[in-house]
Amino acid sequence: DAPALELFELARQQGRLLVLLDGFDEAGHLERELATQISTMLNNEVFLIVTSREMSGVLSGSDFSRFRTVRVKELNEVQRKQVIERRLPSSEAVESFCTQLTLNPALCMMTRNPLLLNVTLSVYESSGDLDGRALNRGRVYGLALDGMLHNLEKKHASSGLAVSEGIRASSLRAILKSLAFEAHSQREGRGIRDFRRPLVEKAIRSCRLSTDFSIDEWEAVEDSI
C-alpha cells in the first residue's frame, strides 16, 4: 500500500533499506535479467543480500563482483544430534531415527542440511515412522510433497470455493510427476530448471487425468501458492 511504499522509499533515500532476494537459483529464464538489474540498479541503491544454491559460474560472474560470499555450513554430527533430540519425544525415538540415518548413507548426507533435516523429521513424525520402519530420500520427498499438496487443497476448500479436479492433491501430484519427467528429459537428459508454459501444457496432456485440466487451472494453482 501507499504508506508502506513511502516508508521503503524514505529508507532507500536515507541509505537504510536492506533488500533480501531469496532463492536466486529459482529465477529460471529471468535469471539473466535479474542479474543485470542487480549489478546495474540494486547494487547502487540499496543494501542487498542474495541467497542461492550453488550455481556453476553465475554467482562468480561480474554481476556479483561486489558481493561478499558466505556459505552456510552443514551441520556436524553433534549439531544434528541436538536438533534431533529437541524434535523427537523420547530417547527411543531418537535412537530409532539415528539408526535409520546410519543404515542409509544418502539420507544421512541429506540431513546435514538444516532445512532438509527438519523436513525429514517432520515426515518421520507425521507418517508414523516411530516404529522403526524404513525411511529413504524418495519417501521423504514424496510424503513432504503430499503434505504440501493436501494443504493447498484444504486452503482452497476453506476459502469457500468448490475444490475442482485441478486443485485436488492427487491431480496435482500426477501433473508434477509428469512435469518433472518432461523437465529432466530436456537437453539430452541434462534437464532444465525453468518450467515454461509449453512444458507445463505438455505435462498436463501427458498425465491423462480423468477430467480435463487446463492451463488456466494451473495458473490458478500458481496464484494460490
Q: In this structure, are 95 and 60 located in the same domain?
A: no
Among the candidates 24, 40, 64, a domain finishes at: 64
Same domain as 58, residue 22: yes
Q: Which three cell numbers stand for residue 212?
A: 480435463
For residue 27, count other CB atoms closer than 10 A to its CB: 18
Residues 193 and 214 in one domain: yes
Spatial CA neighbour of 125 closest among 109, 147, 108: 147
How far apart CA 213 and CA 40 sit, in angstroms, is 42
- As given in the structure block, the three cell numbers for residue 21 are 532476494
Q: Is residue 146 part of a domain?
A: no
Other C-beta atoms lying within 10 Å of the C-beta of residue 163? 13
Give 21's strand partners: 50
In a domain, 86, yes or no: yes
Lowest mean pLDDT among 33-37, 203-207, 217-221: 217-221
Q: Across 172-215, where does the E strand assignment appear? A: none
DSSP conformational letter for 39: I
pLDDT in tens, 126-147: 776 445 557 788 888 888 888 8
Which of 1, 4, 51, 61 is closest to 26 using CA atoms?
A: 51
Would you state the pLDDT for residue 78? 95
Count how many domains the chain has. 3
Residues 44 and 83 in one domain: no
Q: Is 101 exposed, middle or buried (0-12, 13-18, 19+ CB in 10 A)?
A: buried
- Which tens digit of pLDDT belongs to each residue from 62-106? 888 889 988 888 999 999 999 999 999 899 989 989 988 998 999
Indicate if the pLDDT at residue 12 is higher than 70. Answer: yes
Enumerate residues 6+ apart whose C-beta is below 8 A from 114: 72, 75, 83
Are residues 181 and 217 located together in one domain of the fold?
Answer: yes
- pLDDT above 80: residue 23: yes
**Residue 100 sits in the same domain as residue 129:** yes
Question: How would you class 129 by CB atoms within 10 Å of its CB: exposed for 0-12, middle for 13-18, buried for 19 or more?
Answer: buried
> Could you count the other beta carbons within 10 Å of the beta carbon of residue 1?
5
Please report whether residue 152 resides in a domain: no
pLDDT in the model for residue 55: 66
- Residue 149 in domain: no
Query: Cβ(189)–Cβ(169) under 8 Å?
Result: no
pLDDT of 46 higher than 70: yes
Mean pLDDT over each residue of the chain, to the nearest integer: 82
Residue 142 lies in a domain: no
Domain span including residue 176: 160-224
pLDDT at position 130: 45
